[in-house]
Amino acid sequence: MSTGSPENRIRHPLPEPGWPSLEAAARARLFSPVRVGPVTLGSRTWVPAMVPWRATLEGEVTPALIAWYARFAAGRPGALVVEATGIRDVPSGPLLRIGHDRYLPGLTRLVEAVREASGGETKLFIQLIDFLAVKRRPEPAVYFSRFLRIDQGHRARLAALTGDPSWSTADEVNLRGALLGLSREQQAEVLTAREQEALDYGHRERVTDLELPHVRSLPEVLPGLFAAAAQRAEAAGFDGVELHYAHAYTMASFLSRTNDRSDGYGGSPEGRLRLPLEVYRAVRNVVRPETVVGARFLADEVILGGSRVEDAAYYAVELARAGLDFLSLSKGGKFDDAKQPRVGHSVYPYTGPSGHECMPTVWSDSVGPFGRQLPLVRQIRRAVLAAGLVVPVVAAGGLNTFRLAEDALLRGDADIIAAARQSLADPDWWQKMREGRGDEIRRCAVTNYCEGLDQHHKEVTCRLWDRQDLESPLVTLRSADGKRRLVAPGPMG
Ligand SMILES: Cc1cc2nc3c(=O)[nH]c(=O)nc-3n(C[C@H](O)[C@H](O)[C@H](O)COP(=O)(O)O)c2cc1C
Ligand code: SF4
C-alpha cells in the first residue's frame, strides 16, 4: 500500500470495467490509429515508463530486462516507453544507462525483442533522464563528524545558544562533538535549513545550488548529453525518445515554480522553460526527421510553492509550438514532501502526498484513484488546442478499464491512454480487450506492492502473479532470492 495515501482515506472498489465486445472494440476510439509526429500508432494505447530494476550495476541491458519489455510488447500496445534511462556515463547503481556507445549492443537487442514480440505493431520509445545527487540519510554521528561543513556561522550560533563565547573560536573537532551532543531542538538552532534536511533526510542537490559548478553549468552540458543519448537511441533502433521532464528529477526541477535561478534559467515562466526548450532543440537538431521526440512533464507538482496546472498549460503550449511530437502528462512524485527515510536509506519521491497523486491507490480521498489526473489533462489539452496547435496528449493515472479509457478519449480529455500498473498486472490486457475477452483480464488491485519493490530497488513484479507456477521448470527468470518469477504468466512467460 502506498504510504503517500491521504489521511481519512477510504477504500474505493475497482470500477465497473465495461469491457467491450469484439465489435464494440473494433469501433472504439481506443483502438483507432493516432499520429504521433512522424509515426502512426496502431491504437491509442500506451505503456508508460516503469523502472523494473533489471539492469546490471553498470547500467547494462540483461536477459531479464529484455524479457520484461518483450512481455509488454506481446500485449501489442500502440507504444511502449522504456524506463527512465540515465544519459550520463557515470555510475548510477542498477539504473539502465545510455550515456556511452558501449550500451548500444544491449539496447539494440532490446529493440529487436520488442519488434519480434509485438509483430512490429508496437512503437518503442525510451525515456531519457538526468538527475542530481541524493545521499542516504546518515547516522547523526557520521553526519556531525564527517559530512557537516563547519563555518563561522556554526561557531557563532553555538556561542549564542550556550551563552559561551569561547565557541566562536573553538577547534573544529570539539565543535563537531558539541553539536552531536545537543538536543534536536538545539541542533535546529545551529544548523541551516538545508543542513537540517541533510541530517534528517540525506543531502539532496537542487538545480538552484548555483554555488556548485556542476549545477551552475547544467544549461551548458545537458543539451549535449540529451542529444548524444537520443542519437544512441536512434542508432539502437528506437522509434523515438521521451525527454523526462517529470517527477523529482533535474528537468522537472527547472520547470518548477520553486526554481528561482538567477542566471536566466529560472525565476519566470520563460526562464523555467528555457533549458527544457534548449534540450529539445538540441535533440531535434541531431536526430532524423522520422524519429519521435516527446516529453513527459507534470500537470501539477502538488507541492507547496510548486507549479500548478496553469504553469503546465503554458509549458504545454510552448513545447507544442516548439515542435514536440507528444506531450505525456503525469502528476506529483516529488522529493519535497516525501516521507523521512530510515537511517541508511534514501528519500523516495512517491511516499508523500505528491507521490500519491502520481500513483494513487484504492486507499484514497473522495475523488478516488481512477482517472484522477484527467481534469488537469483536459485543461492542458484544451489550452494547446486553443493556441491552434495539434499534438497528441497522453494521460495516465488509474486508467485501467475500457470504460475509463474510452470515455476519456470521447470527452476529449486526452488523445492516448497510458496504463502502467494495469499493464504490469496483465500485459495482455490490451489484446484481450480488443478481442472481446475482457472478462479474462487480470485486474490490477491498485494497492502498490509493485511500487514498494521499486522503492527498495528490488526487481519489480506484480503481487497477482509473481508466485504463480514457481516450481515449474519453465519459469526460468526469478528474483535474486528465488521467491518470485520475473515475467508475467502467459505467452513467453
Ligand atoms: C514500478 C513503477 C516504476 C515507475 N517508473 C517510472 C519511470 O521510470 N518514469 C516515469 O515517468 N514514470 C514511472 N512510473 C509512473 C508510471 O509511468 C505512471 O505514471 C503511474 O504508475 C500512474 O499510472 P498507472 O495508474 O497506470 O499505474 C513508475 C510506476 C511504477 C508503478
Ligand atoms: S502489484 Fe500488481 S496488482 Fe498491485 S498495484 Fe502493482 S500492478 Fe497492480
If you average pLDDT over residues 453-461, what whole number do you get? Answer: 94
Residues of the chain with CATH 3.20.20.70: 10-133+212-455
For ligand 1, the distance from its centroid to the CA atom of residue 263, given in whole angstroms, is 33
Report the distance separating Cα 129 and Cα 251, nearest Å. 8
Instruction: Give which of 351, 357, 364 is closest to 13, Cα–Cα.
Output: 364
**Is 115:80 a contact under the CB 8 Å cutoff?**
no
pLDDT-above-70 percentage for the chain: 98
- pLDDT of residue 3 exceeding 90, the answer is no
Cβ–ligand 1 distance for 86 under 6 Å, the answer no
The confidence score (pLDDT) of residue 335 equals 92
- Supply angle C-alpha 78, 82, 87, rounded to 5: 140
Binned at pLDDT 50, 70 and 90, residue 492 comes out as: low
Burial 182-198 (b: 16+ CB within 10 A, else e): beeebbeebbeeebeeb
**Is 132:207 a contact under the CB 8 Å cutoff?**
yes
- pLDDT of residue 2 exceeding 90, the answer is no
For ligand 1, the distance from its centroid to the CA atom of residue 333, given in whole angstroms, is 10
For ligand 2, the distance from its centroid to the CA atom of residue 165, given in whole angstroms, is 59
- pLDDT of residue 60 exceeding 50, the answer is yes
pLDDT digits (tens, 9 = 90+) for 364-383: 999 999 999 999 999 999 99
Binned at pLDDT 50, 70 and 90, residue 407 comes out as: very high
Helix axes 104-117, 218-236, angle to 10 degrees: 50
For ligand 2, the distance from its centroid to the CA atom of residue 1, given in whole angstroms, is 10
- pLDDT of residue 28 exceeding 60, the answer is yes
Cβ–ligand 2 distance for 421 under 6 Å, the answer yes
- pLDDT of residue 4 exceeding 80, the answer is no
Cβ–ligand 2 distance for 159 under 6 Å, the answer no
Q: How far is CA 202 from the centre of its chain?
A: 20
Considering the domain 10-133+212-455 in this protein, what is its CATH number? Answer: 3.20.20.70
**Is 111:238 a contact under the CB 8 Å cutoff?**
yes
